[in-house]
Amino acid sequence: MALIDLANPTRFLALASRVLPWLAAVTAIVFAYGLYRVAYAPDDYQQGATVKIMFLHVPSAWLAMMGWGLMTVAALGTLVWRHPLADVAVKAAAPIGAAFTFICLVTGSLWGRPMWGTYWVWDARLTSVLVLFLLYLGMLALYWTADDPNRAARAAAILALVGAVNIPIIKFSVDWWNTLHQPASVVRMDGPAIDPTILVPLLVMALAFTLLFFTLHIAAMRNEILRRRVRSMRMMQAANA
């Protein structure tokens, strides 16, 4: 690795350690405000307090998709510009994206329980998110099994791009599959037009979740850079012994 390549992660580390405390603080404040607004948001006339699960469910669904979007952009960085930070960004985003996708599935399932009478139905939206979750798991499995981060980087980048191309097709197919088997959808999750008393807390929570995502992502990137440095230092130790 040339010195010029090391320069960038080094500058990133310095920047990250300056930015992270502030970002974490802002995240905490926005979360506190968001939760306060959620607590005082009115209950739905049909669903009661259950509707408040939405304030977790919708932002995590948004981040599940944004996570893959971020990985796609970073994957381009790996394949086209071979930027040393790009692969770190892909690797750091995968478990966070998977975690938000998981939260989305769990909250969706909990939300569905009082409405459907069961924890899971193969509803088009939830099923699409499930497939996204499977894609994330595949990405994680790829990183688990690869012992050399550089070789894993290119494979992961290709997988991220293939996934990005495929996700709209999967979404379309799942919708088609679902309407084929279940012509009438009984319950729609998004409901009618959203009232500002709901919309404002929802947007605040979405902002809080997004901030949380980036806080975690930058921290994870920092950890990954340090992990790689430890690895190369240990390899040097073995070579010099």
Partner 1 sequence: MTAFTSLILRDMRLSVRVGGGALMGALFYFVVVSMIPFAIGPDLNLLARIGPAMLWIGALLSTLLALDRLFASDHDDGSLDLLTMSSLPLELTVAAKAIAHWLTTALPLVIITPVLGLMLNIELSAMGYVALTLLAGTPSLTFIGLIGAALSVTLRRGGLLMAILVLPLTVPVLIFGVAAANAAIVGPAPFGPPFTILCALSLASFVLGPFAAAAALRQGQE
Partner 2 sequence: MKTDRMQLICDSLACERGGRQVFAGVNFTVSAGEAMVVTGRNGAGKSTLLRVIAGLLRAAQGQVTLTGLAGAADEASLPEQAHYLGHLDAAKPSLTVRENLTFWADFLGASGDPAIDTALEAVELDTLADLPAAYLSAGQKRRLSIARLLAVKRPVWLLDEPTSALDAPSQARLTSFMCEHLAGGGFIVAATHGPIGLDAPRELRMGAAG
CA–CA separation, 189 and 108 (whole Å): 9
**CA-based torsion, 228, 90, 109, 54: positive or negative:** positive
Residue position matching structure tokens 């440095």: 229
Choose, by CB under 8 A, the member of 76, 99, 137, 164 that binds partner 1.
Answer: 137
Residue closest to 216 by CA, chosen among 28, 4, 7:
28
Choose, by CB under 8 A, the member of 73, 120, 171, 203 that binds partner 1.
Answer: 120
The first and second tokens of residue 153, run together, are: 């980087």
Q: Check residue 107 for interaction with partner 1 (CB under 8 A).
A: no
Q: Check residue 241 for interaction with partner 2 (CB under 8 A).
A: yes
234 binds, among partner 2, partner 1, none (CB under 5 to 8 A by kind): partner 2
For 25, other C-beta atoms within 10 Å of its C-beta total: 11
C-beta separation of 72 from 161 below 8 A: yes
Q: How far is the CB of 204 from partner 2 (least distance, A)?
A: 45
Q: Check residue 22 for interaction with partner 1 (CB under 8 A).
A: no
C-beta separation of 215 from 27 below 8 A: yes
Residues sharing a CB contact under 8 Å with residue 68, sequence separation 6 or more, in sequence order? 97, 132, 135, 136, 160, 163, 164, 167
Q: Which range touches partner 2 (CB under 8 A), out of 24-32, 136-144, 196-204, 229-237?
A: 229-237
Q: Check residue 239 for interaction with partner 2 (CB under 8 A).
A: yes
The first and second tokens of residue 206, run together, are: 């979405």
Measured from the CB atom, the residue of 184 and 239 that comes closer to partner 2 is 239
Q: Check residue 16 for interaction with partner 1 (CB under 8 A).
A: no
Residue closest to 166 by CA, chosen among 131, 138, 127, 141:
131
Q: Which amino acid makes up residue 142?
A: L
Choose, by CB under 8 A, the member of 181, 188, 196, 240 that binds partner 1.
Answer: 181
Q: Check residue 234 for interaction with partner 2 (CB under 8 A).
A: yes
Measured from the CB atom, the residue of 123 and 224 that comes closer to partner 1 is 123
Q: Which range touches partner 1 (CB under 8 A), out of 5-13, 22-30, 31-39, 172-180?
A: 172-180
168 binds, among partner 1, partner 2, none (CB under 5 to 8 A by kind): none
C-beta separation of 160 from 68 below 8 A: yes
Residues in 129-148 that interact with partner 2 by CB under 8 A: 147
> Residues interacting with partner 2, by CB under 8 A?
147, 234-235, 237-239, 241
> Residues interacting with partner 1, by CB under 8 A?
109, 118-123, 127, 130, 134, 137-138, 141, 144-147, 174, 177-178, 180-182
